Amino acid sequence: MNQEPQEQKKLQFPAGFLWGTATSSHQVEGDNRNNQWWEFEQQPGHIWRDERSGLACDWWRNAEVDFDLMQQFGLPAHRMSVEWSRIEPEPGQFDHTAIDRYRAMLDGMRRRGIRPMVTLHHFTNPLWLERMGGWENPVVVTRFQNYVRYTVRALSDLCDMWITINEPLVYVAQGWVRGIWPPMKVSPMGTVRVFRNMLLAHGVAYQTIHTCAPDAQVGYAMPVRVFQPSNPARWLDRKAANLKRYLGEHIWIMATVDGKLRPPLGVNEYNHALANSADFFGINYYTRDLVRFHLDPRRLFGEEHYHPQGEYSDSGWRGIYSEYAPQGLNQIVREVSVFGKPIYITENGLPDHDDDQRPRWLLGHLHALHQAIQSGCDVRGFYHWTFTDNFEWSEGWGLRFGLVELDPATQERRPRPSAAMFGDIVRDNGISATLVRQYAPSLLPVLFPPA
Ligand code: BGC
């Protein structure tokens, strides 16, 4: 019998698979003064230890430092976002110097062999929009459309993959349900208004991008968490988990498939622009949640918790848990595959300042993704969150998601071991047993079970 030696085994990814990293403008550019997050950071008590984005990763002046490093690790793709407040600093007034800078960034990536994907909205708004009521005001839909039209016309010769809106669910949950991000409201009506306006804006943006750039690929990035009933035998836990899935994911995804606005976003309402408004699905996957029935309607009748015996990333220290649950990625990719569209994992990663968990977590998730691909799912790319440590919203600089360590004070960068590992995976377009033995030997029997 001809037995394949263990070391030659490999989890091979499809040819042309896009490997990359992801960032957002406010988290990396620095000196982003004209949006609501900058204003929010200046007020004490909002951010962990009152930290501020400040210079962030200094991308506005020198993103090229990171592009050079990306090239060094052989990354063929990167997802970045552009900042509405820079491009349209006042309503209807567009700043071509901002566009010039973004053109230089996109061009810089391409010259280094890095294919860009651009997100048009990643949590931040121009201050003028905030003053008008932000995403609660229905006028935002046409305002967003104007900004999208201008931006895509100006950049579409350099970028052909677009994300309209990043994680609408997180934006609304943090700002209007939990009330811990701007505008710090707890408002069920506001929640519905914002979610609805974002959905409508996505549909209009999708159509607008295609008018400006007919061949572009356009989607949105959805934060997909796996909601599992705490006790699967308990009817109320199952219902509570389903309700979260329905409100958080189902109503958005389904509307972009069939154009129907479902309660509470609308009743018997069909929106032509929304129907079939995703050329691909972008999935941001971090962890799973167990859901236990709870009487509190503000928690949507479900209390989320983690597995008591779970393994947690660094964020465990502040009570913000992220559980190692790689199989959730396999599950959601299979679920989203039923819509027959290509899938990109637009974010996946973990906070791990000393990189002692990242290699294993990353390999575990890529293994789960590989299983989904083997079962027939059309996954075209994987973007790790993130390349260089960056400003982590209300966690400030406390959570370190980067393949590359950053000292924000000196701007000094130090690649972590996982950067080299990721580079090896990219070069190989797969995961070899030798690599697993080197970086996470405990996973060998999981990734390459003995015959
Ligand atoms: C967001 C990123 C964020 C990351 C890690 C995602 O929800 O899109 O902006 O930094 O998670 O928390």
User: Does residue 362 lie in a domain region?
Assistant: yes
* Spacing of C-alpha 211 from chain mean position: 25
Mutate to test the pocket of ligand 1, among 83, 315, 393, 394 (most ligand atoms within 8 A of CB): 393
Enter the tokens of residue 432. 């070899």
Q: Whose CA is nearest to atom 3 of ligand 1?
A: 392
In a domain, residue 204? The reply is yes
- Ligand 1, atom 9: closest residue by C-alpha: 24
Cβ–ligand 1 distance for 166 under 6 Å, the answer yes
- What crossing angle do the helices spanning 358-374 and 417-428 adopt, rounded to 10°? 20
Nearest-Å Rg of the Cα atoms of the chain is 21
Average pLDDT over residues 273-293: 96
Place of tokens 């895509």: 152
Q: How does residue 7 score in pLDDT terms, banded at 50, 70 and 90?
A: low
Percentage with pLDDT > 90 across the chain = 90
Q: Decide if pLDDT at 249 tops 80.
A: yes
- pLDDT at position 2: 44
For residue 400, give its domain range. 6-447
**Cβ of 223 less than 6 Å from ligand 1:** yes
Mean pLDDT, all residues of the chain? 95
CB distance 385 to ligand 1 below 6 Å:
yes
Q: Is 367 among the domain residues?
A: yes
What are 158-177's pLDDT values in tens digits? 999 999 999 999 999 999 99
Q: Are 63 and 56 in contact (CB under 8 A)?
A: no
405 within some domain: yes
Which atom in ligand 1 lies closest to the alpha carbon of residue 395?
A: 12
Any domain includes 289? yes
- pLDDT, one tens digit per residue, over 199-220 is 999 999 999 999 999 999 999 9
Q: Is the pLDDT of residue 375 over 70?
A: yes
CA-CA distances (angstroms) from residue 119 to 165, 205, 219, 389, 421?
Answer: 7, 12, 9, 19, 27
Other residues' Cβ atoms within 10 Å of the Cβ of residue 201: 25
Contact indicator for 169, 249 with CB cutoff of 8 Å: yes
pLDDT: is 207 or 321 the higher one?
207
Does 1 reside within a domain? no
338: number of Cβ within 10 Å: 9
The two tokens of residue 315 are: 């964020």
Give the number of domains in the chain. Answer: 1
- Answer whether residue 246 shows pLDDT above 50: yes
Is residue 87 assigned to a domain? yes
Mean pLDDT calculated for residue range 371-380:
98
pLDDT of residue 26: 98
**170 CB near ligand 1 (under 6 Å):** yes
State the alpha helices, DSSP H only, in 304-378. Answer: 327-337, 358-374
CA distances from residue 431 to 356, 367, 383, 417 in whole angstroms, order as listed: 19, 8, 16, 16
Between residues 185 and 297, which one has the greater pLDDT? Answer: 185
Q: Which of the residue ranges 119-133, 226-240, 302-316 would you say has the lowest mean pLDDT?
A: 302-316
What percentage of the chain exceeds 70 in pLDDT?
Answer: 98
Mean pLDDT of 426-446: 97
pLDDT interval class at 309 (50, 70, 90): confident
- Helix or strand holding residue 413 (H, E): strand 412-415
Q: What CATH number is attached to the domain comprising 285? A: 3.20.20.80
- Residue of higher predicted confidence among 300 and 119: 119
**pLDDT, average across residues 230-245:** 96
Tell me the H-state helices in 112-232.
Answer: 127-131, 140-155, 168-172, 188-212
Domain presence at residue 242: yes
